A = this chain, B = another copy of it.
Amino acid sequence: MLFMRSDSDLTARARIRDAALDLFGREGVNRVSVRAIAAQAGVSPALVLHHFGSKDGLRKACDAYLVEMLRGDGTSPDLDDTSRIGSMIEDATPIRRYLARAFLDESPDAAALFDSMVAGSERWLEQGVAEGWVRPAADPHARAAIYVGWLLTPVVLHAHLARALGEDDLAETGATLRFSGTALEMLTQGVFADERVRSAYEKVRNERS
């Protein structure tokens, strides 16, 4: 529901950036031409480069805009609670798609965002341990990293998860409830009931080495 406004309200520069974010996220940066972006924004191709210098400059501007949108008002330097990350995930499709590609392309901004989420989640989980609503972990840092990875699953595998769940879009209310309800159940009660899976895994590993 965020990021809603009419296109004609925007400056051409903003329209170009929005078109780029949308198309880059949809197709990947290299499948999208400057001309296609210009067409979607309703301007000439030359204006794109007038404002952003080059196609790569436009990509960097998209990265920066992404970070700006996701960090929000910036009251906290790190993304430090799950519901905040959760709302990021539910948010506008173009941003989610762009973010997924930025992660895969290892853009520096996306990497910084990831690290920031890990740092924030580690603090948040640590606080939970202190207050008793999070279980202690043998390796809290590794757990925070994996936790963030799990949280980002609907970002990077959105289409596949939606298809597997038989839903059109995970952002629909029903699908979101089903998804996060199940994930929270898994995170709260665990998936495996005892140590049998872990010992089986360790046995396989030892056999292989």
Contact = CB atoms under 8 A, between A and B. Distances in A.
A125 B193 CA distance: 11
A100 B111 contact: no
A30 to B, nearest CB: 4
B189 A190 contact: yes
Chain B CB within 10 Å — which of A132, A138, A165, A182 has the most? Answer: A182
Interface in A169-209: 173, 177-198, 200-201, 204-205, 209
Interface in A116-145: 118, 125, 128, 132-135, 137-139, 141-145
The oligomer's copy count stands at: 2
A65 interface: no
Interface of A: 28, 30-31, 82-83, 86, 100-101, 103-106, 110-111, 114-115, 118, 125, 128, 132-135, 137-139, 141-150, 152-154, 156-157, 159-161, 163-165, 173, 177-198, 200-201, 204-205, 209
Q: Interface of chain A, helix or strand or loop or mixed? A: helix
Contact of A163 (B115, B159, B182): B115
Nearest to A114: B160
Given A101-B104, A160-B114, A165-B141, A135 B192 contact: yes
Nearest to A176: B205
24 contacts: A30-B30, A30-B31, A83-B204, A86-B201, A100-B104, A114-B163, A118-B164, A128-B193, A128-B197, A132-B194, A133-B197, A135-B189, A135-B192, A139-B178, A142-B179, A143-B182, A145-B161, A146-B186, A156-B157, A188-B191, A188-B192, A188-B195, A188-B198, A190-B190
